[in-house]
A and B are shown apart, each in its own frame.
Chain A
Amino acid sequence: NAGVTQTPKFRVLKTGQSMTLLCAQDMNHEYMYWYRQDPGMGLRLIHYSVGEGTTAKGEVPDGYNVSRLKKQNFLLGLESAAPSQTSVYFCASSYSKARPTDTQYFGPGTRLTVL
């Protein structure tokens, strides 16, 4: 099992550019999450999904959109990047009906810099 994977690992954008971060999990998890982590701060939840075709806002959703067209993938989009979105982005997944606990497993992160 690869667990949770994220692409790309690094990216530099100019202000106003758009991009999509991809998260994939092979654990048949129902729930998926996008967090951001800024220096010296904890994780903040951007958006999450409780199943294929569903998404919901977390605590810092502004400036981001998400889609979950397939159960194993969760995409995070930035339509018009701003310097305030410079951060490390982590994807996580949790919960399967076979193992009904909410232990979250994280990907390796995407380091994004917006100039």
Chain B
Amino acid sequence: DAKTTQPPSMDCAEGRAANLPCNHSTISGNEYVYWYRQIHSQGPQYIIHGLKNNETNEMASLIITEDRKSSTLILPHATLRDTAVYYCIVRAAYTGTASKLTFGTGTRLQVTL
């Protein structure tokens, strides 16, 4: 899986958009960008994933640059409950068998009043 680089921490005011960047300059053509988050003491939560087109779901939007070397996760209206560690992971969508998920150090997002 390609290596990713994320800032260690970010702050965001409640109600504002949280934009979390991720660099993945060595991504290969068949690899997707996945985002997970882990709220303190809870299980990792899948947020969104994409290949090259921008994606949106009920939780977030994912913007992938045209060269696919970086992406941004957008939480449009952050709330205190969005305080968590956010992980950007690059991996093939399906390798043909089960494979472990490897989390890096992620970005610790703190949403404040």
Contact = CB atoms under 8 A, between A and B. Distances in A.
B94 A48 contact: no
A58 B97 CA distance: 13
Contacts of B42: 108-109
Interface of A is mostly: strand
Contacts of A59: 100
B56 to A, nearest CB: 16
Interface string A32-47: 0101000000110100
Interface residues of A, number: 29
Interface in A65-115: 88, 90, 92, 94-95, 100-109, 111
26 contacts: A35-B100, A42-B102, A43-B101, A45-B100, A49-B98, A50-B97, A56-B98, A58-B100, A92-B43, A94-B98, A102-B91, A102-B94, A102-B95, A102-B98, A102-B99, A103-B34, A103-B49, A104-B44, A104-B46, A106-B44, A106-B45, A106-B46, A107-B43, A109-B41, A109-B43, A111-B41
Interface of A: 4, 31, 33, 35, 42-43, 45, 48-50, 56, 58-59, 88, 90, 92, 94-95, 100-109, 111
